[in-house]
Structure 1
Amino acid sequence: MSLTTSLHDRVNGMQPTKRISLKSLFVSEPKNSNHFTFEKAHSKLREATFAVFHNKTIPYTLEELYREVEDVCASKMVPVLYDTLESLFTVYVNELLPTFLDESLQLKKASQIWEVYCHKMLMIRNIFLFLDRQLPVVNPKYLCLWDLALNLFREHILTHNLVQPKILKQLLDQIYEERTGTTVDRQLLRSIVRMHMDLQLYQKDVQGPLLRQSQQFYAEEADNLIKQLSVSDYLAYVNRRLSEEEERLNAYLNPTTTRTPLLATLDSELIAKRMEYLVANSLSLIRDRRLDDLHLFYSLLSRVNGGVDLLRARFRTHVKEVGQAIVDNPDKSTEKDKVMIQSLLDCRDSLIQLINLGFCADPTFNRALQEAFEEFINNRPNKPAEYLAKYLDAHLRTGNKTQTDEELERIMDKAMVLFRFIYGKDIFEAFYTKELAKRLLLGKSASVDAEKAMLSKLKQECGPNYTRKMETMFQDIELSRQLSKNFRAAQQTPYPIDFNVNVISPASWPQYPQLAANYPPAMLSLREEFTKFYLSHHQGRRLLYEPSLGTCVVRADFPTSPGVHKELQVSEFQALILLQFNGPVDVPVSYAAIAEATAIEKTQLDRTLLSLAAGKGQKVLIMKPLSLEMSPDHQFYFNTQFQHRLIRIKFNQIQLKETVSVSPL
């Protein structure tokens, strides 16, 4: 039969496998009982063992030696043979000791002696394999031959008070040299480490001193580098050192027992003891969106207790500072407030990307982001809610034709994220309802589906009571369309004016100022007809007309566009003023005459006249003198030089807080 024995029996295989053939391992009595004598066999085996130890030729075949061992065991002389081997092993080990005691001993020599020792012990074990198998049966206290060899080497050589310190110092010196950049013989170090592991001295004699040396080395190195390097460079240094130690563990240390405490030493000295300083000086990484550095920073801080907590707190502070700068407006700049919401959304998108790529999509950082947004947004009451409503209004209006339905949906979803942060949801409701009313009454909604989708999002977030009035507004508009259709169908003779009415319930719509005005007879007649029609179907109700929300399309002919009828899309007040210029084009109309004819309240009249005479690209009237302050002496002329590339021209109203420029035509 074939028997395989290798150094793997003691440590993961460092010597080539030895193969021997044995005819039989079990005999009941000496095979050569007629010629066997213990003394003769004993002498042969002693001689063979001595020859192995001293590199001499064995004068017997291996098969002959195997039979002698079997016969000795069969003659029940195992204890004697075991004692003989133990004595021979001890003598040989003591012969090796002087070499280890030599002051000039180097690791390479120690490794060579150890490798030769192991090889010889394996050869002897193979010769005495039958004995080795019998030892536990004969006496459980007997060590197997390999363990006996290890014990003797450990007791007589490696634990010697003049040997172990010398070998350990050279080993640690080599590791130190490698850490400082010197190339070392890793195979040699691996052999020395494995020797200690085989002799069960690694953890006690190597690992402990190695950890202490590592702690001192990295503490001093970190102290020197923390103030010299930038945060980014220091993080790269730590990552490099961790990789080097991982490589060192796999190359020649014992990763099973050393990896955890060694890397914990690096974590403590390079990260944990420096993390407060690093986090405090990490603002540039966050501010400049250095995602690779932040990802490394997060990974390193994840290795130590409280590291990620510190980074998250710094991140939250940064978010609050950046967001507060966007929301605050100490100079009361209208332009800054107008871009507030878009700036917040862009900021949040950037921070979300930072969390996903820099902080491994850590959900606790998302929560910190939400907390910071909620805090700084509500540090300025009302304004974020107001401008969020106006932001949505800008995207839901017909004038915004650059976005697809999918883009509009994403915009609404992002706006809802900010909406959730806002405490003053009633403020948002007031402004959103006001802007929604304008879109519905003036026909400026880009998409009814988008409007209802936004309404559904608000309802889902705040409940049905929050959107009840808004839903009523949609119902009023839909009923008004049918009402206008029915009114036109009921007229026996079509009116020269295309007339549409929105009948709204005051309880659900914003309150509007009651403004009076004088209307031309044709418009008054049409309005009275509609009132009769409505009241005939809804007894007990009262209609109150609100001119400030009305719109008109006025046809105008300009000498600059002969044969082309321009259509001016204007408010009711603008239409009432333009109707005063149906006379000769060279005859001015005074401010006083316009005021008397239209009966429009002065503030409203001034704003409306400015929109027609001073609006950019919309100067359909000429004003003299050029002034923002109106007086009864102002004269207005029809602008015969007015030009516009469009057929239908939409005229804007000038808001109370807006400023306009007056310049000659």
Structure 2
Amino acid sequence: MLQPQKSREQSTVNTCLVSGRGSGAPSALERHRQAEHYDGRSDAVDFDEAWNILRSSLHEIHSKNASQLSFEELYRHAYKLVLKKKGELLYQKVKDFEEDWLAQTVQPQVLASISPTILCLETEAATIAATVNEKRADGEKLLRSLKGAWEDHNLCMNMITDVLMYMERVYCKDFRKPSIFTASMGQFRDCVLRSPIQSDHDRRTTIGKLVTAVILYQIHMDREGDIIDKALLKSCVYMLEGLFESEEEDESTRLYLTSFEEDFLLASRAFYSTEGSRLLLDADAGTFCRHARKRADEERDRCRSTLSPLTLPKIKAVIEEELIRRHLGDVIALENSGVRYMLDNDLVDELEMIYDLSARVDSDKVELRKAVQGRIKQLGTDVNHAASNVGMSGVVKQALPKPEITNAETGETEPQVKALDKPVNQQTAAAIQWVDDVLRLKQKYDLVLLQAFQGDQILQTAITRSFSDFINELDRSSEYLSLFFDDHMRKGIKGKTENEVDVLIEQGILLLGYIQDKDMFERYYKKHLSKRLLMKRSISMDAERQMISKMKLAVGNAFTTRIEKMFLDMNTSADLTSSYKQYVNSLGDPDPRRVELDVSVLTSTVWPVETLMTSTKEGESRSACIFPAGIERVKHGFQKFYLGKHSGRQLTWQAKLGTAEVRGFFPECKGQKKTRDLTVSTHGMLILLLFNDMGKDDTITCEEIQARTNIPMNDLFRNLQSLSVAPKTRILRKTPMSKDVKLSDRFSFNESYYNPAQKIKVLLVTSGNQVEGLEERSETERKNDDERQGVIDAALVRIMKQRKELAHQKLIAEVIGQLNTRFSPDIPMVKKRIESLIEREYLERLEKEPASYRYLA
């Protein structure tokens, strides 16, 4: 009855002995349970006999002859020994067997695969000459031998563990012993990997160290572009990951971490340090960046496919330190390929790579930020110098006026001659060009920020600060930006679509955001806007209003309040002019020679009237011009009409700001038509009307004209230049004929003046908005400083009224904080305003530390 059962046992065990650790079929587990029900206490157990059977079976398993073994029989022998309290002896016997097997069988096989060509890899000796291919082949031979030994040992120990399962469950658990599998892994470590090798150089090393050296050499070959067996390396790495320094099997004591990874990181550090220095000498910045990114990707892939993912952050840190961080500053600064070269040549891809490398090693991108800022400031300084070096002098040399002639048939204005070669026009063109250059520079770096720097906020802040710095280094930036707007509002937006105009305005408003002294810009913008409005030079009032709306959004309501009132005055004046014409018509005046009047009534506190009038020395009075009786009658009639509606107000006539349309009769001109319609300034009208009462050959001096009209001298000179010197508008004859006008020069009416056009517009030299001369600039700055004093006073009073008492430093800080959106207050000026308020008894100084002030109600 026993024999058939034994046959059945033998026939069923064969399949589970090759299944691997813990992978026996369910039928085998059932037999485990059946065997445990066996009561062997009544049977005497001969340990030696049982052990001999087990030892023989272990030998067969290691010799790969396990197919004829009976699992249940072997399990029962081990079970009986453990049941009879022989578990400790059995445990030790198995360990001894495994140690002998590893030392006498496995170790010699592995040692036999070691050749002299690879011993030098660990010993760093170079006495044995060998090619790369020889070292690779011999290294792979060792790794394959070790791989086979390790896999065989794993397979056999899985099968042996199944046989000794009861011992593991009872003896090992009760006595807190490592499992026989764990113990045997430690034996493989000690008997194989830590087995010493006697080299030719009388130095003792171990198989494990040599394996590490071989793997490192294989990785080095891979880095150099040679072909290696990555699957073989992965198997050996898997072995190192499965072995521990001790039987406790703590994760931090894996041999991969303790015996391999540290050497791998050291070798990698040396490799990349050397490679980085070599690349810096041999390659350009773009090549360096591409190679660094390629290396980072290679190490990532190597950790995922060949080594352990645990190594990825560590090797990443090595690359970032040795290959990137150590050389990044030098790469960025490379003269003919670094960041400056990339920026100048729009190498967006290279810039994106160098940004990526910078972001890896420096969250603040210090080196890249410095390079970008430095280049922007240098380019900005060049733009500033180009604009400043265009003929700027204390006395601005005026250009002769170039008339605009209106074709009688088409009604279109025809510009005759360009005057950009004249000093004033050169300066104005340079101012507009400055804004264009800054905008192009801004667009370029906006694109770089978006495409190369991924919209990085740190770099965006750096770029913004750089633009702000160089823009504010130019003391005329406010004036230039206002002239840019003025040029486009007068002619630049002609023919542009609504979207193009919108983009243009937004670009200009963007630059306005960089300007610190926005109060100075407001002063210039009001000055230039006033001429556009009064002289009807603006192409589109819708564009003007759109500009104001965008300014309001960008810098606040307070900035645009007075500008908006200028538009309100113009609208009110149009209604007032219409009402006045209706009023005159209602009087029934039949005079066909009555002068028609269009009036613009300007609020003196809103409009920059002083900047539009002829500048005079301090204390010099400005007398009103002397108008002919007919003009005076019209003036008086309107003044009566206006004051009847607005009693208590005062009107001051500003002749310089007006224009007049007069009809001239030239009896000796060639052609059938003897009359021409002339558009001149109000001062020009006063000059021409003087000649109505003079004979054909009568002359009058400049000094006499001034006495009879009371036109300010500078304005008189400019008007006489326009009427007698400009080639196309010589309505008067000048004696002697010269470009300059002197008080003694004599003038007469040119009865033979001819121009093919019917309507002629006589332009003054300064009829357009232009760059201020040094004297004008100084006067503008003085007035702006005067206005700032009032603004600072108001801020001081407002703060102290709320705080009652405040320390000096805190008061200064709060004033600057409140006003820096409008201008950057000068600290000495703030201190002077505090002293002024103390003198005027708005504040008092407190006798305590730190220095403080009290508000006096």
Q: Taking structure 2 as the reference length, what is the TM-score of the superposition?
A: 0.66
2:174 is aligned with 1:146: no
The CA deviation at 1:157 is 0.9
Question: Among 228, 246, 252, which residue is 1:184 paired with?
Answer: 228
Question: Among 97, 100, 110, which residue is 2:107 paired with?
Answer: 97
The CA deviation at 1:156 is 0.7
RMSD: 4.1
Question: Among 348, 354, 360, which residue is 2:448 paired with?
Answer: 354
Identity within the alignment, %:
24
- CA contact 2:432–2:481 (8 Å) conserved in 1: no
Question: Among 390, 396, 402, which residue is 2:495 paired with?
Answer: 402
Alignment correspondent of 2:466: 372
- CA contact 2:580–2:638 (8 Å) conserved in 1: yes
Alignment correspondent of 2:313: 260
The separation in 1 between residues aligned to 2:324 and 2:474, in whole angstroms, is 39
Deviations 1:504-555 (A, max 9, x none): 2323222124586565655443333212212323334443322221123456
**Structure 1 155/451 Cα, relative in aligned 2: closer, same or farther at 3 Å?**
same
**Structure 1 62/485 Cα, relative in aligned 2: closer, same or farther at 3 Å?**
same
2:416 is aligned with 1:322: no
Question: Among 151, 172, 183, which residue is 1:118 paired with?
Answer: 151
What SS is found at the alignment partner of 1:552? strand
Alignment correspondent of 2:208: 164
**Greater Cα shift, 32-41 or 67-76:** 32-41
Deviations 1:616-643 (A, max 9, x none): 9x65758678742346456664687634
Deviations 1:222-273 (A, max 9, x none): 22221222222222221222222222222211121x2222221121111222
Deviations 1:330-351 (A, max 9, x none): 5244132331122212212212
- CA contact 1:69–1:128 (8 Å) conserved in 2: no
- CA contact 1:132–1:145 (8 Å) conserved in 2: no
Query: Which structure has more RCO (C-alpha within 8 Å, separation ≥ 6)?
Result: 2
Alignment correspondent of 2:37: 29
**Structure 1 254/639 Cα, relative in aligned 2: closer, same or farther at 3 Å?**
farther
- CA contact 1:107–1:192 (8 Å) conserved in 2: no
Gap runs ≥5 in structure 2? 1-11, 116-137, 198-206, 244-253, 392-426, 615-621, 772-857
2:526 is aligned with 1:433: yes
Q: What does residue range 559-578 of structure 1 map to in structure 2 within 5 Å?
A: 569-575=679-685
2:334 is aligned with 1:301: no
What SS is found at the alignment partner of 1:182? coil
The separation in 2 between residues aligned to 1:4 and 1:639, in whole angstroms, is 129
- CA contact 2:489–2:539 (8 Å) conserved in 1: yes
The CA deviation at 1:107 is 3.8
**Structure 1 305/470 Cα, relative in aligned 2: closer, same or farther at 3 Å?**
closer
The CA deviation at 1:213 is 1.3
Deviations 1:297-351 (A, max 9, x none): 1111222247711211222222211112212345244132331122212212212
**Structure 1 606/362 Cα, relative in aligned 2: closer, same or farther at 3 Å?**
same
Q: What does residue range 326-345 of structure 1 map to in structure 2 within 5 Å?
A: 326-328=383-385, 329-333=387-391, 334=427, 335-345=429-439
**Structure 1 219/547 Cα, relative in aligned 2: closer, same or farther at 3 Å?**
same
Question: Among 486, 502, 508, which residue is 1:393 paired with?
Answer: 486
The separation in 1 between residues aligned to 2:432 and 2:520, in whole angstroms, is 17
Alignment correspondent of 2:651: 543
Deviations 1:458-480 (A, max 9, x none): 55666655444334323322322
Deviations 1:18-40 (A, max 9, x none): 86742343244328999997767
The CA deviation at 1:649 is 6.3
Alignment correspondent of 1:608: 719
The separation in 1 between residues aligned to 2:262 and 2:502, in whole angstroms, is 63
The separation in 1 between residues aligned to 2:682 and 2:503, in whole angstroms, is 36
**Structure 1 19/244 Cα, relative in aligned 2: closer, same or farther at 3 Å?**
farther
2:249 is aligned with 1:205: no
Gap runs ≥5 in structure 1? 10-16, 660-665
Q: What does residue range 227-266 of structure 1 map to in structure 2 within 5 Å?
A: 227-256=281-310, 258-266=311-319
The separation in 1 between residues aligned to 2:367 and 2:289, in whole angstroms, is 16
**Structure 1 588/226 Cα, relative in aligned 2: closer, same or farther at 3 Å?**
farther
**Structure 1 543/64 Cα, relative in aligned 2: closer, same or farther at 3 Å?**
same
**Structure 1 167/569 Cα, relative in aligned 2: closer, same or farther at 3 Å?**
same
The CA deviation at 1:396 is 3.1
Alignment correspondent of 2:764: 653
The separation in 1 between residues aligned to 2:689 and 2:17, in whole angstroms, is 115
Alignment correspondent of 1:13: none
Question: Among 278, 281, 285, which residue is 1:224 paired with?
Answer: 278
The separation in 1 between residues aligned to 2:467 and 2:752, in whole angstroms, is 52
Alignment correspondent of 1:663: none
What SS is found at the alignment partner of 1:486? helix
The separation in 2 between residues aligned to 1:452 and 1:295, in whole angstroms, is 41
Deviations 1:545-588 (A, max 9, x none): 222211234568999998999865543344556678999xxx89
Deviations 1:373-407 (A, max 9, x none): 332223232x1111112222223337732334444
Aligned residues between the structures = 646
**Greater Cα shift, 344-353 or 72-81:** 72-81
Alignment correspondent of 1:662: none
The CA deviation at 1:219 is 1.5
**Structure 1 134/620 Cα, relative in aligned 2: closer, same or farther at 3 Å?**
farther
Alignment correspondent of 1:528: 636
- CA contact 1:48–1:59 (8 Å) conserved in 2: no
- CA contact 2:691–2:749 (8 Å) conserved in 1: no
Question: Among 48, 63, 66, which residue is 2:57 paired with?
Answer: 48
The separation in 1 between residues aligned to 2:549 and 2:470, in whole angstroms, is 27
- CA contact 1:398–1:446 (8 Å) conserved in 2: yes
- CA contact 1:441–1:549 (8 Å) conserved in 2: yes
Question: Among 409, 412, 416, which residue is 2:509 paired with?
Answer: 416
What SS is found at the alignment partner of 2:660? strand
The CA deviation at 1:444 is 3.2
Alignment correspondent of 1:108: 141
Deviations 1:57-92 (A, max 9, x none): 532355665566666666665445433432332222
Alignment correspondent of 1:12: none
**Greater Cα shift, 131-140 or 285-294:** 131-140
Report the AA paired with residue 161 of structure 1.
P
- CA contact 2:74–2:163 (8 Å) conserved in 1: no
Report the AA paired with residue 218 of structure 1.
Y
The CA deviation at 1:155 is 1.0
- CA contact 1:30–1:74 (8 Å) conserved in 2: no
Report the AA paired with residue 33 of structure 2.
F
Report the AA paired with residue 178 of structure 1.
D
